[in-house]
């Protein structure tokens, strides 16, 4: 394989794009009839967001989408992935449809098409309407009914214009962080909440896929999973067992039910809580769906050790910083070879038609100096990870897309605004956009 990287090596049909999400970018949180999301409520609780910020304005994509799409075009991308705010479409989660919200996404999609950008819709990217959270949110037995209503409205409205759909973004992320440890919205904790949310998300990703296929003619439907290669700190049995359980939770918990294998177990008593659902409700068939593509989002490799102090799970992370290995400014290990191995692993499951990298990127402490953001570490990150992706593709993996995370700096969940992933720097006081050197690198890379 040539050491000189160019986009043409991936083939003429390979899709190159950037991704954003509604909750992190749109702002305009009470504009034109939008209802509150769980993140609007969660961010008002003291101590939940590191810089005490809120997503109320964010980067104001709602009003600046035309300018931001021009940046997407100028950087050479041809695909734009965005999510739909559930509470902008259905302010109460169910019931009345907000015409102004529908109109906004039609304008956004039309602008994409005008610029010859392929729109990719993510149906759920972590921003449940607060009205539904009051009724139990992702732990409620009503969740599937609520979600089906939302998906149906979106497909009826936008299906004639949009071919590519992603059902859920990182279900392990919003179930574990939002309903397990309470670090993210809505801030719930406990294994019962976590496993109820997991089961509903597994059902929702399959039912959502079925609905999109039923309603949208010629739809290409996927869903997006986070994944991390997991290593034990030592070869002790306790550490190996901790790594295996972590692997089940991070990498196997959502894809295996979708492939018809049911929930992974491997002798871990903890997983009995999920198997209770499938045995008593006979939901295994309903959890399965034959996706057109599976999205992978690999931000770090993970090393863990057994920790008997941690209740139930008994696992703790061994940080990349403590191990003195390359890492981002969020402490996430940089390991392109691990990324390569995860691509190959998911492909070797069998039953996966195509893989997309639906997000890929890195956070560093960017500084704007004299109108320039020299983020050489981010550029190096993309070069290394794209080389790894190309290697997997050349070895036979049907890899169809790479979508960079993210276009502009934005609201990074519980990290607030100090954590920057963008190819474009944003001054959050003035909303001034400045293309970073990594963005210019992408422009040059995509022109080759």
Residue with tokens 């570490």: 377
Give the C-alpha separation, 24 to 197, whole Å: 22
116 has catalytic annotation = no
**Per-residue three-class SS string for the chain:** CCCCCCHHHHCCCCEEEEECCHHHHCCCCCHHHCCCEHHHHHCCCCCCCCCCCCCCCCCCHHHHHHHHHHHHHHCCCCEEEEECCHHHHCCCCCCCCCHHHHHHHHHHHHHHHHCCCEEEEEEECCCCEHHHHCCCHHHCCCHHHHHHHHHHHHHHHHCCCCCEEEEEECHHHHHHHHHCECCCCCCCECHHHHHHHHHHHHHHHHHHHHHHHHHCCCCEEEEEEECCCEEECCCCHHHHHHHHHHHHHHHHCCHHHHCCCCCCCCCCHHHHHHHHHHHHHCCCHHHCCCCCEEEEECCCCEEEEECCCCCCCCEEECCHHHHCCCECCCCCECCHHHHHHHHHHHHCCCCCCCEEEEECCCCCCCCCECCECCCHHHHHHHHHHHHHHHHHHHCCCCEEEEEEECCECCCCHHHCCCCCCCCEEECCCCCCEEECHHHHHHHHHHCC
Question: Catalytic site residue 359?
Answer: yes
Q: Which of 26, 229, 333, 359 is catalytic?
A: 359
Selected catalytic residue, list 133, 170, 229, 333: 170
Active-site residues: which are they? 170, 359
């Amino acid at each position: 394989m040539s050491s000189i990287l160019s986009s043409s090596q991936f083939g003429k049909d390979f899709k190159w794009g950037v991704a954003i999400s509604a909750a992190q970018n749109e702002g305009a949180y009470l504009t034109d009839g939008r209802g509150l999301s769980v993140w609007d409520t969660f961010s008002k609780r003291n101590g939940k967001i590191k810089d005490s910020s809120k997503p109320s304005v964010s980067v104001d994509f709602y009003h600046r989408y035309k300018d931001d799409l021009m940046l997407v075009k100028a950087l050479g991308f041809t695909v734009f992935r965005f999510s739909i705010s559930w509470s902008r479409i259905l302010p109460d989660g169910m019931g009345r449809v907000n015409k102004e919200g529908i109109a906004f996404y039609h304008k956004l999609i039309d602008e994409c098409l005008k610029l010859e950008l392929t729109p990719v819709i993510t149906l759920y990217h972590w921003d449940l309407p607060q009205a539904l959270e009051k009724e139990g949110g992702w732990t409620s037995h009503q969740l599937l009914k609520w979600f089906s209503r939302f998906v149906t409205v979106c497909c009826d409205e936008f299906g004639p214009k949009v071919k590519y759909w992603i059902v859920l973004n990182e279900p392990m992320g919003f179930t574990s962080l939002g309903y397990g440890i309470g670090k993210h919205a809505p801030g719930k904790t406990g294994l019962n909440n976590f496993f109820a949310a997991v089961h509903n998300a597994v059902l929702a990703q399959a039912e959502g896929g079925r609905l999109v296929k039923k309603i949208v003619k010629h739809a290409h439907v996927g869903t997006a999973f986070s994944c991390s290669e997991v290593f034990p700190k030592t070869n002790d049995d306790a550490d190996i067992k901790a790594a295996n359980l972590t692997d089940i939770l991070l990498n196997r918990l959502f894809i295996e039910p979708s492939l018809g294998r049911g929930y992974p177990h491997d002798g871990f008593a903890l997983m009995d809580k999920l198997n209770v659902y499938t045995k008593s409700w006979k939901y295994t068939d309903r959890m399965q769906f034959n996706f057109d593509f599976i999205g992978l989002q690999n931000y770090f490799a993970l090393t863990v050790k057994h920790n008997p102090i941690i209740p139930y799970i008994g696992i703790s992370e061994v940080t990349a910083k403590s191990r003195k290995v390359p890492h981002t400014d969020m402490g996430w290990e940089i390991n392109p070879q691990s990324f390569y191995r995860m691509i190959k692993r998911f492909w070797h499951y069998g039953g996966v038609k195509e893989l997309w990298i639906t997000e890929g990127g890195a956070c560093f402490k960017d500084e704007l100096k004299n109108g320039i953001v020299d983020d050489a570490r981010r550029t190096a990150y993309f070069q290394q990870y794209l080389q790894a992706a190309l290697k997997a593709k050349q070895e036979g993996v049907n890899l169809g897309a790479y979508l960079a995370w993210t276009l502009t700096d934005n609201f990074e969940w519980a990290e607030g605004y100090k954590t920057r992933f963008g190819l474009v720097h944003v001054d959050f006081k003035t909303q001034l956009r400045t293309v970073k050197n990594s963005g210019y690198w992408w422009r040059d890379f995509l022109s080759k």
